Structure 1
């Protein structure tokens, strides 16, 4: 954003002086970064204002002409020029020999200068050069020679006329400050920063018509158009703007067009309120309607592009057609032209969110749209209209031809904030006086209701142009930035160095994750959101889940009540890379029951999944063994697995509840074949779920120390023929109850089926704490096992 320093100074006292460096430093520290200060017109040397006295054709070139120019010296200058927009009596910039201009073939950023010298062009001596705005470094406009206003004095040094400092402010940090997208807003900040007075007075004199042009305004959509003011002016003369106005626009990067358009742009840059001018006589009737676009409606805008409109795009219309896209750009069918005599000036306030949406839909960014989408002050429309009318009457003539039309059905009130001055010290650590704080707030045009001298509470009324101030902390920030961050004394933070307390829940969670990792599991993270399709595939009921009012997508519109759908969803992705894998997730699920605070109960669960190409029963026992190992390493002793059949997503004959101290803490099993088919999973898969909260409540600190058994253990692999319907779990349970004296462990090794029989291989471990086992000891326990096998009609293979 470009700000003219000369323009700023009209709002500051005459004696206000500050160095460029101080201005840049203080504004950067208190408001927004000043990226650079540029001397506007500093490169212009030996360039004077000239008047064209005579134009004659070049004797040897039809494309060139010889221009006799008076530059205020005794000798008139003969200059050869190819521009077609010249006429006798025109005031133009003339670069004399020794002067430097920019090469028009390069962009302004290149700074490629050409030195002017006397030269002979096709037999005619040329002693100077007539300049365009681009050659002077003022804009990218190179369409012709810059025609200066008639009142410009011949012989004046252009560098003196143009001399200004342009302040380039990085405005991305000012998106919450629409008031600062103007010279008045920046001047208000500069006045507060440098503790001087703002020289600004609102024009409140009534605009009384001396002619009569009928004009009616109807606002059909008051949601998108909060306020609409307009006035008609009769008898204007369209011509170039005065030099001072053109220079103001050029210094801020805006191309001058004509006096009416320039006046509206000037007010926008001056006060921050976008305006628009319509040619009154191009309206079908003197009736302006503010409405949204109709289906299939189009408009050709000022840039010559026909645009397809959406039904929520707000338009300014006459009874027959759209004449502008509200707050963004005007229509070509109502633009100001050279023959325009009567105009309508619009000063309105449009809703920021609809304006931003329309701008994005149309792919059209304009200076006006940028300001409206930040949220303009509706109380600025009338002062801006008054100032625009005053300026237009001055530079374009004419007469006010209608009353001011002001449609404002729902005026906004001002905000009031109760502010405890002591909060400044609490939040910032500085102690400015009460008077200092009040002065800072009042310098920003906040109205302060002063209390008794001893009171610390004050009431602050926030002006309507400061929509960013709503709570006391906002006021503290205002005090801090104007007081000066450089005045904050650096101090080291005070903190007691205590031994950090270990969170026992997080420590237990860490142990669970670490143990699962050592057992070969990888950790995954899945969405907390789920949907009906996922639950239907998993044979779960979605009614157990809480529905989300504003989901991130229609497919993920519930909070998960189980980890299982998320675990299964990732199987196919992993099968594309791995033949077998195991992974787990430790995360929260969300139940419909509410806490005393009115939020869902959110217990943590541990969900694990094992996928590999092996028999179902073998996979079941492998997964069971991993769960046993996990709980063993977490010091859970009284562990039991009990057969169950009621878990829908598990195989009806290969599922079990997991109990610790006779309390159910989870379940495990092979995934139901129907579920595998729904998820298109081609390999056998087992899962387990553990209730983390219950595990934590049952956890034991550490096992009691017991010495390592110094006597050797003996292992035997036994292959046992049993009926096909006999489960490995039933066999292991029978063997564990065989009455063996030295039995320590039974581990399932393999399962083999042949015909109507099944061979289950188990590894048994025998060990004594008092002696080394003899052959007789081992034989005794093996005989007990043989008897137990016989009871279930089994047979130990030779």
Structure 2
């Protein structure tokens, strides 16, 4: 972003400090200055002169010998008796009584100024006639590309209020005695207003604590009159992506070179002069950061101009000479028959303004920055207009910009000013308050319209505590008002420390109270803030309970030999179907990274099951995997942010190619029990009496599975073996079991546990095995619960029950024998048989109610 200090001086009402000091302040408080360009060093030697005499060269048909009047400004140059200087010129347009630009001897040709070997002029003979320097063409001055003739200066070429004077400095007359600051574009990524001279001038005033006032044409109410003469239809088919589309027809214009002053202004700001119409659009963009575009009216088919989405396969030829094939994601400008430009990026060759153009249409619009950014990346096109649009230009300055542009191009207004806008995006400010709605008034003031979300009410203490300052509300408001941010002290009675802020439409970055704090600190000067560390408590930060739980789960399962895996939250539809889960309950992604990642998973277990077969093939005969992750189920709805509600899972799978020392169910149950013990809680395993139909339960064979609950009856998950159809679909080994646990449920019991440390007893433990023969129809859980109830009644002892086996003889299907190991420990004494035998008898008696007998 090139910033002209001469233009800045015209926009502010105070003297700027020396350049070095200014650059230091801009670096500290606005943006990084990459380069300081001294244009006076480049153009300082050039002089404005009047050609007094012009005759043909005696020995060259294409050369002329001129006598120029420089007012005696250049010393040490030979002159005739009338004080005129002789210059030989080869331009066909040189003639007497014209004003031109002279590069005297010892001056450098500006076009070569930045070369490794600049071209320095001298007095030298041309075909035998001595020439003192040269009369310059546009390309030699690096102002344009024209080399057909020298620059001829007319009255319209001179800035307002300046008179042509022989010998005057070209740089001083045309504003080229300037310093240009080249500020790194990335510094302004969040500040679209700073891509124009006007926005930078406002910021420079702010950092020097001076009040900035926008130009009258920019801040005044814009009133447009109706007009006739040219038929024009303007449309906006995509108001959600084109919030504002303004256009007007102008007739009887004349396409010609811009006045020299405008050409020089464009060069200073980094532009290139083309013609008066295009130069006007570029000048407005470089001043206000709002791109505009001009179309040849007579080339618009159907006298129509509008914004719409492209159709797949449509093609357009752009001003860069290339043809592009478009997609339905591209916003385009179209006439009555087809595409004529890429919206916000580049116009097309079919409607380009040329020397034959007599009528034009001026467009001033705004486009969704994300859509433009994607289009630019897709087609590889990057322009100055795109640079500004993809920073998020506000549509609220369009009326003022279009009105100013109309005043610059000449001609006669020949249609009404069309304003196709999305009224839902407009916000109207009244008396420093914000209301939404009516955006249809004919008179529009950008200082009444503000793209703000509301009024921010702050206390000065909020700002001072964060900056270490002692600003009053009045001082804070004064700092903000310097950059035209609306700020008022004491918005309500009896609130002496409060103030309110309304961000102007160009400050889309001011949304939070902290943004205001940062703005005050930046404009005041971070280097001026007290160099004192803020006082903060040294108390340690509270630990994150969920993170602690996850670490505890990892440690417990890792110690048990279980391997953690991490899988994608997105899965293929095949995995859902293999797990026999309902695909209709899964969220489908519209922009999946790949065909294998189409759906949000419902639970974590299917992702684990999908990894078992590969590990078996890799030679791992027996292993267990676990993962802690999220699932998303439609039936759970959306959260407060409108996003799918997430469920947290801790899932485990055990797999083996050959039978081990126990059934897979008990392998996985033992892992869950150990996990519960390590978390300081106890879980209850209950048989499934009535089949359940949920995504969690879908993969399980519920006749060979158990529900997992906390001791207070809260459902926490499921543990068991899988359906044979699921085993077949995932190509699992014969011996496999799994557990799916609710992480939030684990967190609840983990939080409640407190410290579960128990001191070790100084006395030895005593173990007993007990075998209970029960009818075959009695399930294991019922027997276990009876045994546990007896054990729980003896609080004076620490008793641990461990299942050993379930045995059923081949020749007797009517009974089975369940064996437990029971370990007794006392913290007070060594236990004897008379302490243990009554408890064993109680267990046998309790089990007898189920038809059990001690084997």
The TM-score normalised by the length of structure 2 is 0.68
Is 1:607 matched with 2:684?
no
2:181 maps to 1:167: yes
Deviations 1:3-48 (A, max 9, x none): 11112211122x5121223322333333333333222353567566
Tell whether the 8 Å contact from 2:765 to 2:823 is kept in structure 1 after alignment: no
Does 1:707 find its partner at 2:748?
no
| Deviation, structure 1 residue 187 | 1.0
Specify which of 411, 414, 427 is matched with residue 402 of structure 1: 414
- Shift of residue 589, structure 1, vs aligned partner: 5.8
Corresponding residue number in structure 2 for 1:36: 35
SS in 2 for 1:257: coil
Structure 1 pair 583/435, CA: closer, same or farther in 2 (3 Å)? Answer: same
**Residues 92 and 149 in structure 2, CA contact (< 8 A), matched pair in contact too:** no
Q: Report the CA distance between 1:642 and its aligned residue.
A: 7.0
Match of 2:349 in 1: 332
Q: In the alignment, what sits opposite 1:489?
A: 530
The 2-side partners of 1:766 and 1:384 are apart by 88
Equivalent residue number for residue 627 of structure 2: 585
2:470 to 407, 411, 431: 431
1:5 to 2:5 alignment: yes
Worse overlay, 169-178 or 648-657: 648-657
Could you tell me how far apart the structure 2 residues matched to 1:209 and 1:596 are?
50
- CA contact 1:563–1:607 (8 Å) conserved in 2: yes
Q: Does 1:218 align with 2:234?
A: yes
Q: Does 1:202 align with 2:252?
A: no
Q: Deviation of residue 514 (structure 1)?
A: 1.3
2:151 counterpart of 1:113: no
Q: 1:493 to 1:122 in 2, by over 3 A?
A: closer
- The answer on whether the counterparts of 1:116 and 1:129 sit within 8 Å (CA) in structure 2 is no
Residue 479 in 1 paired to residue 479 in 2?
no
Q: Does the Cα contact within 8 Å between 1:290 and 1:317 map onto a contact in 2? A: yes
1:776 paired residue number: none
CA distance in 1, matches of 2:504, 2:704: 72
Shift of 1:583: 2.4
Specify whether residues 362 and 53 from structure 1 end up closer, same or farther in structure 2 by C-alpha distance, changes over 3 A only.
Answer: farther
**Aligned counterparts of 2:672 and 2:407: Cα–Cα separation in 1:** 85
2:235 equivalent to 1:193 = no
Rounded to whole Å, the distance in 1 between the matches of 2:56 and 2:619 is 86
SS at match of 1:278: strand
| Aligned mates of 1:354, 1:560 — CA distance in 2 | 30
Give 5+ residue unaligned stretches, structure 2.
71-76, 80-84, 158-163, 434-454, 692-696, 770-775, 788-799, 811-818, 832-851
With the length of structure 1 as denominator, give the TM-score of the two structures.
0.72
Distance verdict in 2 for CA 1:644–1:479, change over 3 Å:
same
- Equivalent pair of 2:552/2:678 in contact (CA under 8 Å): no
Q: Secondary structure at the match of 1:608?
A: strand
Shift in alpha-carbon separation, 1:100–1:614, aligned structure 2, 3 A:
farther
In 1, the alpha carbon distance for the partners of 2:279 and 2:215 equals 22
Q: What does 1:740-759 align with in structure 2 at a 5 Å threshold?
A: none
Q: What is the match of residue 388 of structure 1?
A: 405
Preserved CA contact (<8 Å) 2:237 2:308: yes
Map 1:252-263 to 2 at 5 A. 252-263=269-280
Alignment of 1:575-724 (within 5 A): 575=616, 579=620, 580-587=622-629, 605-615=649-659, 618=662, 620=664, 622-623=667-668, 626-627=671-672, 630=675, 649-650=699-700, 655=705, 667-681=718-732, 684-690=735-741, 692-693=746-747, 696=750, 701-707=756-762, 709=764
Post-superposition Cα deviations, 1:346-386, rounded to whole Å, max 9, x if no partner, equal 33445555555554554433222333344444443333233
1:86-125 to structure 2, matched below 5 A, reads 88=94, 94=103, 96=105, 99=108, 111-114=115-118, 116=120
Is 1:307 the equivalent of 2:351? no
Q: Distance in 2 between matches of 1:217 and 1:292?
A: 18
CA positional deviation for 1:467: 4.0
Q: Is the alpha carbon distance of 1:616 and 1:668 closer, same or farther for their aligned partners in structure 2, counting shifts above 3 Å? A: farther
1:114-135 per-residue CA deviation (whole Å, 9 max, x = no partner) reads: 4547799999999878988887
Cα distance in 2 for residues equivalent to 1:410 and 1:231? 22
Map Cα deviations across residues 415-461 of structure 1 (whole Å, 9 max, x no partner).
Answer: 43253443433554433223222322332224456668964455555
1:318-357 matches, within 5 Å, as: 318-320=335-337, 322-350=339-367, 352=369, 355-356=372-373
Q: 1:668 to 1:142 in 2, by over 3 A?
A: same
Residues 73-129 of structure 1, C-alpha deviations (whole Å, 9 max, x = no match): 5464568x9xxx97545957758457477779xxx6xx5224547799999999878
The equivalent residue for 1:566 is 607
| Distance of 2:649 and 2:225 partners within structure 1 | 77
Q: Of the candidates 221, 232, 235, which is equivalent to residue 250 of structure 2?
A: 232
Once the two structures are TM-superposed, the CA of residue 675 in structure 1 deviates from its matched residue by: 1.6
Counterpart-to-counterpart distance in 2, 1:302 and 1:745:
83
Q: What is residue 444 of structure 1 aligned with on the other side?
A: 483
Distance 1:637 1:184 in 2: 69
1:364 pairs with 2:381: yes
Name the residue aligned to 1:298: 315
Q: CA deviation at 1:254?
A: 1.6
1:230–1:346 contact (8 Å) kept in structure 2 = yes
CA distance in 1, matches of 2:646, 2:224: 69
Q: CA RMSD in A?
A: 5.7
CA contact (8 A) 1:58 1:65 kept: no
Residue 260 of structure 2 corresponds to 243
Q: Choose 384-393 or 2-11, whichever is displaced more.
A: 384-393
How far apart, in 2, do the equivalents of 1:628 and 1:351 lie?
56
Secondary structure of the structure 1 residue equivalent to 2:762: coil
Answer with 328-337 or 198-207: which moved more.
Answer: 198-207
Contact 2:44 2:177 in 1 (8 A): no
Relative distance call for 1:404 and 1:380 in structure 2 (3 A) is farther
SS in 2 for 1:304: coil
Task: Give the Cα separation in 2 of the matches to 1:539 and 1:205.
Answer: 66
Displacement after TM superposition at 1:710 (Å) = 10
Contact 2:232 2:415 survives alignment (8 Å): no
Work out the CA distance in 2 between the residues paired with 1:49 and 1:130: 10
What are the equivalent positions in structure 2 for 1:46-195 lying under 5 Å apart? 74=79, 76=86, 88=94, 94=103, 96=105, 99=108, 111-114=115-118, 116=120, 147-151=150-154, 162-195=176-209
Cα 1:163/1:338, change in 2 over 3 Å: same
Other-structure match for 1:756: none
| Number of equivalences | 730
